[in-house]
Amino acid sequence: MKAGKLYYHFVENMNDALALNLSFAGNAKYIAGGQSLVPMMNLRLVLNEELIDISQVPDLLKSYSIDDEFFIGAGITHSQIEDGKIEDHTQGYLQYVAQGIAYRAIRNKGTIGGSLVNADPSADWPTAMLALGAKAIIMNQHHERQVPLANFQNGLMQTCLEESDILRGVLIPKLSSNARWSYLKFCHKVGEFAHSIAAIVIDPSLGISNIVLGAAGDKPIFLPNLSAKFSKAFIGNEGFNNELKELLEEDLIQHTTHDKLSYEFNLHQSMIKRAVMGVLQ
């Protein structure tokens, strides 16, 4: 199929983008890389007639340090992160995630902001950024606000963005040299959306202990019991493997809808276990 009737608008700055969208009562769609939006338009899953091209808006193409955090503009592509074109303050985590997204042609055009706004629970950045403890920077014509990634995605392809909002970028913590991470995903074939994602980011120096499961529901799932217990003291216990199994099962039963005997439950359980072992190596 092909997209329905639409009108294309190119803007060069944030104010013009926001004002133009407001003139359409917030019913326009922003486009940067288009790797998620265009297929949805072709399938008539998105029927907005007004399309605003923000791919060249300077504010969305910047990356810079802000004290102990690092800002990544929403227009930064996956390949820019993969190729080290922006600084990686995550001990290689961002580059690793980026290089595993779909195919190089997709990574050349697809943007980190587009992935987060599309809010597909099987996509990489929603899960990876939640594990990192990132914050979304959201703008409208009146003010700018910060929203923790835990509160950004509301459900399946649904975010907290209001009609006139635009995602300017994300703020991520600068991980210390003590940080450890693991990121695993299961796909039936290379390049497709994942059927399970396990993301772990641990940084005792910053008090970060996040274990997140992706592709297991309508949005990435933070595993609170396992995350809370994942510390050096806990890891050193002789009964670690047994306690890991119990806490993981408890989290999956509480926060997913999968039956304990189902293929999906066991797949997600195996992915998290493997990610944990990866952090401990």
State which H helix or E strand residue 247 sits in. Answer: helix 240-255
Res. 53: pLDDT tops 60: yes
pLDDT of residue 144: 95
Q: What is the pLDDT of residues 80-99, one digit of tens each?
A: 999 999 999 999 999 999 99
**Dihedral pair phi/psi, residue 244, rounded to 5°:** -60, -50
Write the burial class of residue 258 (CB in 10 Å: 0-12 exposed, 13-18 middle, 19+ buried): middle
For residue 273, pLDDT beyond 70: yes
pLDDT tens sequence across 244-271:
889 999 999 999 999 999 999 999 999 9
Three-state DSSP at 80 gives: helix
Q: What is the pLDDT of residue 150?
A: 96
Q: Residue 159: its pLDDT value, please?
A: 96
Q: Are strands 158-159 and 69-73 parallel, antiparallel or unpaired?
A: unpaired
**In the predicted model, is pLDDT for residue 5 greater than 60?**
yes
- C-alpha dihedral, 102 to 103 to 108 to 109, nearest 10°: -50
Q: Within 10 A of 127 (CB to CB), how many other CB atoms are there?
A: 29
Taking a C-beta distance cutoff of 8 angstroms, is the pair 183, 128 a contact? yes
By the 10 Å C-beta count (0-12 exposed, 13-18 middle, 19+ buried), 149 is classed as buried
Domain 58-173 of CATH type 3.40.50.620: no
pLDDT at 54 over 90: yes
Dist CA 50 CA 8 (whole Å): 6
- For residue 232, pLDDT beyond 80: no
**Burial zone of 114 (CB within 10 Å; 0-12 exposed, 13-18 middle, 19+ buried):** buried
Kindly report the number of other CB atoms within 10 A of residue 163's CB atom: 12
The CA distance from 219 to 235, in Å, is: 28
pLDDT of res. 233? 53
The string of pLDDT tens digits covering residues 107-158 is 999 999 999 999 999 999 999 999 999 999 999 988 999 999 999 999 999 9
Q: Which CATH class is domain 180-280?
A: alpha beta
pLDDT score for 49: 79
Percent of the chain whose predicted confidence (pLDDT) is above 90: 75
Would you kindly state where each structural domain of the chain is located, as residue ranges? 7-53, 58-173, 180-280
Amino acid at 81: I
Backbone angles phi, psi at 110, to 5 degrees: -65, 145
pTM above 0.85, yes or no: yes
| The CATH classification of domain 7-53, taken from the options 3.90.230.10, 3.30.43.10, 3.30.420.40, 3.30.70.1350 | 3.30.43.10
Give the residue with greater pLDDT, 7 vs 173.
173
Q: What is the pLDDT of residue 184?
A: 97
